[in-house]
Amino acid sequence: MPWQECTTMSIRREFVWLAEQPQSNVRELCRRYGISPKTAYKWLNRHRAHGEAGLEDRSRRPLNSPARSSPALEAAVLQLHRRFPFWGARKLLSLLPADVGRPHHSTLDAILRRHGCQVRYHAETAEAPAIQRFEHPQPNALWQMDFKGHFHLADHRSPRCHPLTVLDDHSRFALCLEACEGERLELVRPRLIQVFRRYGLPQRVTADNGPPWGSNIAGGLSALEVWLMRLGIEVSHSRPHHPQTQGKLERFHQTLKRELLHRTFRDLGHCQQAMDDWRAQYNQQRPHEALGQQPPLSRYRPSLRSYPEHLPEIEYDPGDRVLKVGRIGQVRFNGRSLFVGGGLAGEQVAIRPTATDGVFDVVFIRKTVRQIDLRQPKP
């Protein structure tokens, strides 16, 4: 079975890295990446024998590339600068070949200045080092997701591009970077399904409060929230007017804008190709200061929870009265009609008695979405 054409090398690197981790399930990874075990073990054996060069197509590229491993320090630094013009000396230092030594980052700064090379974004050297703190000690404990605004494309007949981003909180691994034509549920859900099929399910996701992430009704649920909860994923939202709640994703958006989104793209297809290439570089090559100048892939592992192709049934307590929500989001109970949210249309909810006589909770899975007070007169 062939690899995807657009990002062959990046997918091979990612697969090999994950497959070589302790206790990894190679055959499960094969299923998620859509390749046969025979193909997987071929690339694993080549990587073990020849390293990164072993992942190249042998008919297209030689095993040795002298231009990429110059013995002269200045040539190596200038070569890295040409490849990564937005990266400062500290990041370039982590990528220097071993045969040119390990000079201080100030030496690299001097080489760049001597050759008239201006780092396009040089605030890195002025900022304090990032604090190495992880709110979640394991990958997939929390994913942050949002849209990075929108921008016009060169072909004005094309819709605007709305980049959909998903980031793992622990590793800063970019799980998704998709060029969407809008921010509607029917555009977001298929992209998230692709992510879930490859990387598995997280324990929790956090997103903004606006659509399609949250409901406009206080305490209500959006259709996207309902779907995620059916998958067993806990959903939380950032505090209104507090972007620092998703600070790691906001920082990722800054890097994305600085290094990629300043360009002009013909259409969504052109934009997606550039995003695929940049995401591979960000995950696999770009050193992150909070990760000890290692790329995010060094910290990420796929989730052990696989994506179910069919939603599991909801189980409620034996004493609950289970009702189906109508197409406009209402339920009928004891002769009363109560609106519980359009996002729950077609779903089953439980009517559960509380400690107060005549008062019932309306529960979806484990979340109380409304209360019914039979002590109040009917409207």
Higher pLDDT, 67 or 361: 361
d(CA 35, CA 4): 10
| Token pair of 35 as six digits | 């390749």
Mean pLDDT of 362-372: 90
Instruction: Tell me the Cα Rg of the chain.
Output: 25
pTM of the model: 0.75
Least confident of 81-95, 146-160, 222-236: 81-95
pLDDT tens column, 106-165: 777 777 777 677 665 444 433 333 334 446 789 999 999 999 989 999 988 888 999 999
Higher pLDDT, 365 or 60: 365
Residues of the chain above pLDDT 90, percent: 47
- Residue whose entry in the numeric block shows the structure tokens 């300043």: 262
pLDDT tens column, 165-205: 999 999 999 999 999 999 999 999 999 999 999 999 999 99
Residues of the chain above pLDDT 70, percent: 85
pLDDT band at 296 (very low <50, low <70, confident <90, very high): very high
The pLDDT of residue 36 is 93
The pLDDT of residue 137 is 83
The pLDDT of residue 123 is 40
Angle between helices 26-33 and 37-50 (to 10 degrees): 110
Higher pLDDT, 109 or 207: 207
The pLDDT of residue 242 is 55
d(CA 170, CA 201): 15
Least confident of 4-18, 25-39, 256-270, 304-318: 4-18
pLDDT tens column, 267-290: 999 999 999 999 999 999 998 888
Start-to-end CA distance of the chain, whole Å, equals 62
Average pLDDT, the chain: 83
Higher pLDDT, 217 or 111: 111
pLDDT tens column, 235-267: 988 766 555 567 899 999 999 999 999 899 999
CB atoms within 10 A of CB 142: 20
Alpha helices in the chain (DSSP H): 8-19, 26-33, 37-50, 73-83, 89-93, 105-114, 185-199, 223-230, 247-259, 268-284
Sheet containing 359-364, strands listed edge to edge, beginning at the edge strand earlier in sequence: 321-324, 348-353, 359-364, 367-373
The pLDDT of residue 124 is 40
Whether 347 shows a pLDDT value over 90: the answer reads: yes
Mean pLDDT of 9-18: 89
Whether 100 shows a pLDDT value over 60: the answer reads: yes
Whose CA is closest to 191, among 207, 171, 203, 177?
177
The pLDDT of residue 131 is 39
